[in-house]
Amino acid sequence: MHDLSRLVSSNPTLSAIEDLFSPETYLVGGCIRDMLRGQEPLDFDIVTFSDVGSFADKIARRFSSTAFWMDKTRGVVRISLKGKGITIDVCLPKGHDIVADLRKRDITINAMAYAVSACELIDPLDGLVDLGHGVIRIISEDSLRDDPARVVRCLRFSVVLGFPIAASTAALLKKYACKVATVSAERIKQEFMKALCDQNGSRFFTLMETTGVIKALFPDIIYQGKDISLKGLRSALFLARETDGLIYDAEILLPGSDRDLAQEVESKLSRAGLLRLAAFVFGIAPYRNTEELDKSAVLQAVNPEQGILIAREICSSLKVSSRAITLINSMYASQKLVHEILSQKDLPVRIVHLLCEKAFSCLPETLLLAWALKRSPHSGNKAFLKHVHLKEKIQEIWRYFVDIYQVQKQNQLIDGNDVIRSLGIAPGPMVGRLLLEVEAARAEGVVNSRQEAIDHLHVLARQIQICPDMKRST
């Protein structure tokens, strides 16, 4: 462990306000835990027995920032340090003194305080001991009874810190799991996002299953019958774990994809985090309302509609954004094309091009999900894997996307206006369809110049037999 006095003085944020702390003001919670673990906190919690607003204003002035009320009822004021990603929350105590305040918190390692003015660690619940042992321990049963959201918080802390849950705490989490359904979707979503964006995010699903949280949150979606749920959950947990490993190695497997996977789909949810959720749901989908798994199907690779439906239900219940739902839908819907590509001996350039077009916004996720599906023991596809170098095939698709598709996309031979002028048709879906066909022909080497592209347009028009009502009105 580390010397807190030295850590506080050397921290750029805390050293700037260290002199403002009076004997009735304390650093508390996660920032203490993180500093003791040798990490730089981005969030600081301060409890003061003096005037909250006044103290927050003093801090804000030090950083040329502004303090604003987060929750007047609970007496919480926040200061955000722009450009640094750092937040400082100043709040009223939850008890008559700092020890009483700490006893009302969630887990022991979050129930430590530091009196800056006295350079004293206050640890009435042995949080330092549990931190040293690396264990998640609830403070008391009252913590869960008063706020069932702490059930999910315990699971999230176990994931992001890599700490096991104490046996006595695990028993209490199971006892209060059924109460999680009473917690607002916004609070549940916060815990989900933080857990899923961790590099071991798949473990969150395992913990939710062992404690009964999944059943509490999604009873109508997942639990359709004991046998089916067990099969589906076994498949879902495998896919989530497999996807975790592939995300970890993504930059090696698909060079350049780390940057894509780190992008935020919405605040606090990365594309990698969304992929973990997509993999878990995809594993459940084949077992919903299905007595027997069709062994000729590779999970949902040839029938993604059920996966799309369940993903929409789960994402909607978690208040996930419409953009996130659209990306998951695209991952699922593109699996048919990936399956078709991987089932052929040679790379079918035309189909690869269509895949790149269809899954343009989430191709790394689509390929990693397909990879995990093919490696699943539940896929019924072992014979196929013996004859196909899965890794090489998927990497070949990725290289085509990076080296050929994206280059062609930036340097198109013709555009929509060319299609309209050349064929004399009105703007509409047909224009996009014809452009896609021209680009696919270019990918196959049939079209190599602008004139060849226009000539090919006329060939396509005859093949498609464009109707008179598609023509431009005169």
DSSP letters, 136-188, are B-BS-HHHHHH-THHHHHHHHHHHHHTPPBPHHHHHHHHHHGGGGGGS-HHHH
Nearest to 24, CA basis, from 51, 53, 48: 48
Q: What is the DSSP string of 356-416?
A: HHHTGGGHHHHHHHHHHHHT-TTSS-HHHHHHS-HHHHHHHHHHHIIIIIHHHHHS-S--H
Domain that holds residue 152: 135-212
pLDDT tens string 249-274: 999 999 999 999 999 999 889 999 99
Mean pLDDT, residues 83-93 taken together: 93
**Rounded CA separation 49/26 (Å):** 9
Closest CA to 139 of 76, 94, 181: 94
What is the Cα–Cα distance from 248 to 77, expressed in whole angstroms? 37
Total number of domains in the chain: 4
Instruction: Quick: pLDDT tens for 36-54.
Output: 999 999 999 999 999 999 9
pLDDT, residue 462, reads 84
The domain that holds 97 is classified in CATH as 3.30.460.10
- Are 454 and 384 part of one and the same domain? no
Mean pLDDT of the chain: 87
- 342 near 436, Cβ under 8 Å? no
112 plus 254 within the same structural domain = no
Say how far apart CA 143 and CA 308 lie, in whole Å.
37
Among residues 100, 127, 154, the one where a domain terminates is 127
Domain match, 248 and 366 both:
yes
226 φ, ψ (degrees, to nearest 5): -60, -50
The confidence score (pLDDT) of residue 41 equals: 94
Strand-pair category, 86-91 with 43-48: parallel
Residue 298 clears pLDDT 50, i.e. is over it? no
The reported pLDDT for the residue numbered 304 is: 63
> What pLDDT does residue 222 have?
57
Mark whether 367 and 443 lie in a shared domain.
Answer: no
Do 229 and 173 fall within a single domain? no
pLDDT class of 278 with cuts at 50, 70, 90: very high
Distance CA 154, CA 108 (A): 11
Same domain, 226 and 367: yes
Helix (H) / strand (E) containing 433: helix 429-443
Residues 382 and 455 in one domain: no
* Same domain for 23 and 149: no
236 and 337 fall within a common domain: yes
- Structural domain ending residue among the three candidates 407, 427, 444: 407
Q: What is the pTM of this model?
A: 0.85
- At 132 the pLDDT is 95
Angle between helices 349-358 and 363-374 (to 10 degrees): 120
Higher pLDDT, 114 or 389: 114
Q: Are residues 105 and 145 in the same domain?
A: no
Counting other chains too, the contacts that 307-312 makes at CB distance below 8 Å and 24 or more residues apart are 307/281, 307/282, 307/332, 308/332, 308/333, 310/221, 310/281, 310/284, 310/285, 311/277, 311/278, 311/281, 311/282
pLDDT tens-digit map of 91-143:
999 999 999 999 999 999 999 999 999 999 999 999 999 999 999 999 999 99
Task: Give the end of a domain, one of 160, 177, 212.
Answer: 212
DSSP 1-67: ---HHHHHHH-HHHHTTGGG--TTEEEETHHHHHHHTT---SEEEEEESS-HHHHHHHHHHHTT--E
What is the CATH classification number for the domain harbouring 189?
1.10.110.30
Q: What is the mean pLDDT of residues 321-330?
A: 93
In terms of average pLDDT, the best of 4-18, 125-139, 436-450 is 125-139
